[in-house]
Structure 1
Amino acid sequence: MTRDESNGRGLEGAPDYEASKRLARDGDPEARRRLAARTDVRPEVLYYLAVDESAAVREAVAANPAAPAQSSTLLARDRDESVRRVLAGKLARLLPDLSEDEQGRLFRLTVETIETLACDQALSVREAVATALKDVACAPPDLCRRLAGDVAREVAEPILHYCATLTDQDLLALIASQPQGWVLETIARRASVSGRVCDAIHASGNTDATAALIANPGADMPEATLGRIVEESAERMSWQLPLARRPRLPGRMALRLAEFVDGHVLAILRDHPDLDPATAAEVAAVARRRLDFLEAQPSVVPAEQRVRRLLAERRLDETAIGDALSWRDMEFVRLALAVRAGIRLAIVEAILASQSPKGVTALAWKAGLGMRFALQLQARGAGIPPRMLLNARNGTDYPLSVVEMEWQLEFHGAGHAPGP
């Protein structure tokens, strides 16, 4: 009998059963290892080799797709970590071929063995299970949830990123458990992220996870959430570039970004392939206004002088005040509001300092400005957190009645009649 060293066989041709038993019992370790690696050996011989004294032999059985399921049950508790690791990878790869008979004994036994390995104390074994299962569509949901919640990043990350078995409910539960930042970032980078999951990631307050979400074209962000992110990006520079590059960015949000991003991001935004010509022209117009603003040297020309000049030119309007608000010329904004509302500067400053959403909204109304500006004034002028903003009714209308707004103004010492 000769040995075929090229393919690692210890026997040439189909092995004789009796010869296989003798070799399994009396052969040297290398011969037993080669026997254990063969796929044409009787199952009982491989089962016998699963308890061989040599770890190399047991590892060969663990890797052998022809090994009986009963041997996997033994090997899942093997004392050698490398044996358990090899077995984990093999079983996960075999699972799709068994999934057609999900109620079958072999499938159930295989799943039970994988579950045992998923709880292994050795990190490398759990990592092998997760890495092999991440692309397996038929992976048992309970098993995937366990792996996704593993404390080790090496185990949880492949499942969190790739596993399609995880449902939105699973992901939302993970987010609600306040995990480490890398968990949120990994979920944000999934090929497909639903609107509910997008909302939960943004609501978590993790800046890096939201940045990953913005950069992910597969993240189906609700428009309201995206709008809030655009507003918040004025303070979070790391969000601005991915927002400018985001596919299907709504035109009004592109215009909002154009009001405060730097020149590099503005150039990318201006060339955004999804902007229609009219919106692209408006973005360019905003860029020109910003250049004019910078050339006006607000640090040299007093704010009061600029306010009076624009008032005389009938250009102290929402565009001018909104631009100044976006570009942080707050002295100009406060003076302009006082002039338009016909109230003292000290009252304007007090209303903004109060951080009252209703009070600030009433101030914008008294100045004769729209609800869109009122939202910006709440967020940028008064520093009101996004979740506390008083939003528009029907998208554009003031949400408070005239009586309510007059009461707010009266409370802060302002007059009744709306400004110009």
Structure 2
Amino acid sequence: MDHLLGGLAANPALPSGLVDRLIATADADAASYLADRADLSPAQAVALARRFGDEVAVHLAYAGRLPAADVDPGAWPRAALALLDAGAGRPEWARRFAADPDTGLREKLAACPGLPPDVLETLAGDADTGVVAELGLWTTAPATAALLARHPHAEVRRAVATNTRTPPAELVALLTGGGLPPARWCSVCEREEIPFVHEPYCPRPDCALRPGASCDGSHASTVHETQQFALRNPRTPVEAAAGFVRHPSPLLRRELAARPDLPPEACELLAADPDPGVRSGLAGNPAIGEDLIRTLAADRGHDVQRRLAHHPRIPWDVLARVARTTRIGPVLLPGVAAASAAEVGELAASADPLLRMLVAERRDLPPAVRDALAADPDAKVAKAVAPHPGLPGEVLRAMVRRHGDQVAARVAANPDAPPGLLERLARQERPPRKALREIARHPRATAAALTACLTDPRARPLAAAHPALPPQVVADLLADDDPQVGAAAAANPSLPPAEMARLTRP
């Protein structure tokens, strides 16, 4: 019964009176669905929060359904913090929580944007490292981030290196270690006798150290992670970052290889890096030019060619070559998405079916190009273009006649697929299962098509939620052995009102 109430709580056709009844009788699972309802009134939101407490109140606060006037920070502290996080809380709440004995509440406060200066000062001096690290990670005040970059705990510095509000000078200092006093502690040496290296699969259930954490007095693992985050941070000046091109750590060189502001000389050095992870990161980097793209096209290192296929400026001949040797899947590649109208026409007319298939993934093709690709003799090309909006019903039918099950699922995914075609695909003797799942979620599916979809275990819950399913069939599915199907039926707006009322009776 609980799963049915959860589904019913999400039903958009549930009358307001029954929403009130559910608020009074439902369990916590159903409450989360009730909190998501677009038609929840302010009074219902407050009633829901009062019944289920802080967890649901947080949900409502983030959804903008619970104004500050209805929130008591003493009764619903996390809801009050959610409002502060969303910029809708009261400044006095921030001061209250900054002095709260609950560390978890202070940590949550430290992650909130736009805190008053006095609250930032209090949190920066907090006795708990976790609170200060959270402030370093999320503060929107550059001056606070700059202050915390000099914090004596290495964990706080690690957090500051991630923050994009940290000033460039401090990021350079965190990256290189220059200009900063040495950190005095890290999460390892404050817990363990050094030297210490944490086991990757630590058997201690209460251990909070990260896998591979180590310290010999230099806070090695935390400093290394700080450098990783600083290299990843777009505000770190590239001049400082490029100095790590020959660093002995491949993890740092991988971070460097992904930076889109790399100078050409750094790119050339990284293209010859012995670590394939570095080269694959570089392969997807928009900073590299055509010469390096062609060099990396011959690289058989792990993931290099797949990443290269996603490069936004890859030449078409290179794309065709790497696409034959790596699995790309049905995805619109950035280079194809950015192609000009002339290039689209050129690709669509290519003698290479692979290039025609890749351009067929675009969903903004001119009608003439779209229809020509739909008539392509290569099934892979037709399959790629099949979901394109605007394809006439007769063209879709012709695709199914020509290529059969190879294109059926993607034809069924076309938003303009005619109801009759969907019905025919669903009711054939052995319909492709992927096609049934697409039909079950298609807004134009008929009752007959949906009934056929109920025969497939994975399409069944999708069909059970479809509003075109006959009301009596929806009602019958409430008793289905699969709770997922029953919940979907309860959420179906075609569920008879009498059944809605029956499910909400105490």
TM-score range for the pair, normalised by the shorter chain length: 0.3 to 0.5
Normalised TM-score (structure 1):
0.39
Normalised TM-score (structure 2):
0.34
RCO comparison, higher one (Cα < 8 Å, 6+): 2
